[in-house]
A and B are shown apart, each in its own frame.
Chain A
C-alpha cells in the first residue's frame, strides 16, 4: 500500500514538473523543428502537436538570440527586478514591524486590526482596482513604477506570515532583554528579527513569487511599454518565433526556480502555523 502511494506521489510530482521540463527542452529546439511538431496548434489541420523531449537538431540559437540580440527582454527583466526588489524592501520596512507589534500586543484593538488585515489580504485586486487607480492618479503615480510598488509595499500578506513567526518567540526572551535595558527598537532588531528570520525569509520568498508574476496591476495602471515587466509580456506563440517564446519563458522562470531551490527549506520552516493547544 505504501509502495503504491509512493509511486503515485512520484507520478504526481512528475506531472507538476512537466511544464518546466517542456520549457527547458523546448529552448533547445530549432524553429523549423518547432514548426513541425507544434504546427498543428498554429494552423488548422487534422494532425496533433507532439513533443520531442530530446530535440532532433539541438540548437542554442534561440537562447543566444534572446540573450544577445533582444534588448527588449532586458528592459523587461530589469524592470521586474527593480519593482520586485523595491516591493520586498518596502515590505521589510513596513510590514515586519507591524507584524511584530501585532504579535506582542494582545489587546482587543490589535485583534481587530489583525482581522482587518486578513480581510484586506483576501480581497481580490479587482475589487479595489478602480478606486486605487483614482488614488494613484491623484498622487501622480499612475503610469510609473510607483503605481506598482507603493500599493503592494503595504500588502498585508507578509504581515500575516511574519506574525505567525513572531508569535512563536517566547515572552521570556523579550522580558530578559528589556530587563537588560534594551529599548524597543533594539529588541526588535537584534532579537526578534534574528529569531524569526525564517518567517521573514518565507514571507519574502512567497512575496517574490507573487510579484515576479504580477500581471493585473501592470495591465491596469501602466500603459507605457517601457515600464512593463517580464510577467506581462507574452510573445506571440502563433508567429514563427516559437523558439524565442520558450527562451523568454525560460529566463523569466529561472530566477523564480532558483529562489525556490535556494529557499525550499526555509519555506518549509518559516511558515509557522498557530500551534495547537492542549
Chain B
C-alpha cells in the first residue's frame, strides 16, 4: 500500500514539474516574442535621387508695357494694386491737385520765360533749342491741364494687368515706369521663388509641371536669376496656353534627378548619433541556443545627399548585401535581438 501511494506521489510530482516547466516554457517564449521588436529591413540600393521642388508660382503676362507718370508730382492715391486688371479708362493714380496746379503754374511761368528768351535771342541755334524747350514745356502744360481737368486722376490707356507697381502712395511720382502692365498676346510667365538650399537642384532647361485647378502641363524653365533685394532665386517659366489667366497662382513642380549614388536608403533607416554623426542599424545573424537570431549592429554613415524619401550615404563598413533596419515597432538599440516582419 505504502509503495503504491509513494509511487503515485512520485508520479504526481513528476507530472506537476513537467507541466509547470511546460507552462513556463510557453510563457517565456511568449514574453520574448512580445518584447522582441519586429522590423522591416532592406538592402541599400543604387539609384538616382529625384528631387522635387514644388511651390506656387505667379502667372503674369509675358508682354509688359511700362506706364509712365508725370514725374515729380506728389501722388495722393494709387488706385490699383499689383495683380489688378485694369481696362482702358480706369483710374490709376490721383495726383495732388494743389501740386498739379503749382506745377502748372511753374511750367506756365517757365513757358513765358522761354518765349521771352526766344524772342530776345537772334541766333537760330539757340532759337531752335529754346523752341524745342518751348514745345516740351507746352506739352507738359497741356498734360497738366488735362490732368487738372480730370481732377488730377490719371487714367489707364490700355487693357491689362498691373504686374509691377513701383509708384507708392504719398511718394512723388517717379521718373521710371510707375507701373508695368501686362497684356495678352505673347503668352504668360510663371515666376516662382526658390530657396537657397534648393538652388542646386534647379537648372535652366529643366522641365517643370505647371498645374492649375483645371489642367497641368509641362514647360521648360526659361531663366533662373538671383534677386538681390529679396535674396532669393527666382525662376521664370514661359507658359503658352489658353487655360491660363494672369494673376493666377499655380502649382509648379520640378523634378531633377541627381547623379546615381551607390548606396541609398530610406530616410527612416537613418538615426542621429549626436554631434552630427549618423548611423544605421544592420541585421547580423547569430547562432544561439534558440536558433539563428538577428542582432542589430551599428554602422556609422555619412549623408551625401537626401530628398524627401531617400538619402544617399557613404560608409566604410556598409556592404550592399547588408540588410538595414528601416522601421520597427519598438525602439531598437545596438545589440538588440530583432525579428523580421512576416
Contact = CB atoms under 8 A, between A and B. Distances in A.
B290 A71 contact: yes
B32 A74 contact: no
A262 B290 contact: no
Name the prevailing secondary structure of the A interface residues.
Answer: helix
Interface residues of B, number: 17
A273 interface: no
A70 B21 contact: no
B13 interface: yes
Contact of A75 (B14, B31, B289): B289
Interface stretch (B22-30, B133-141, B165-173, B245-253): B22-30
B21 A74 contact: yes
Given A226-B290, A258-B13, A262-B10, A70 B28 contact: yes
B13 A74 contact: no
B25 A74 contact: yes
A67 B28 contact: yes
B289 A226 contact: yes
A69 B291 contact: no
Nearest to B286: A225
Contacts of B31: 68-69
A218 B13 CA distance: 29
Nearest to B7: A262
B268 to A, nearest CB: 30
A71 B33 CA distance: 10
A67 B291 contact: no
A69 B32 contact: yes
Interface residues of A, number: 20
Contact of A77 (B21, B288, B291): B21
Interface string A231-242: 001000000000
A67 B13 CA distance: 18
Contact of B287 (A69, A71, A225): A225
A74 B10 contact: no
A198 to B, nearest CB: 11
A68 B287 contact: no
B29 to A, nearest CB: 5
Contacts of A77: 21, 25
Given A258-B13, A262-B10, A72 B24 contact: no
B37 to A, nearest CB: 16
A225 B285 CA distance: 14
Contacts of A255: 17
12 contacts: A67-B24, A68-B27, A69-B31, A71-B29, A72-B288, A74-B21, A224-B287, A225-B288, A225-B289, A228-B289, A255-B17, A258-B14
Interface of B: 10, 13-14, 17, 21, 24-25, 27-29, 31-32, 287-291
A-B complex: 8 closest residue pairs judged by Cβ atoms: A74-B25, A72-B289, A71-B28, A67-B24, A225-B289, A71-B29, A262-B10, A71-B32
Interface of A: 67-78, 224-226, 228, 233, 255, 258, 262
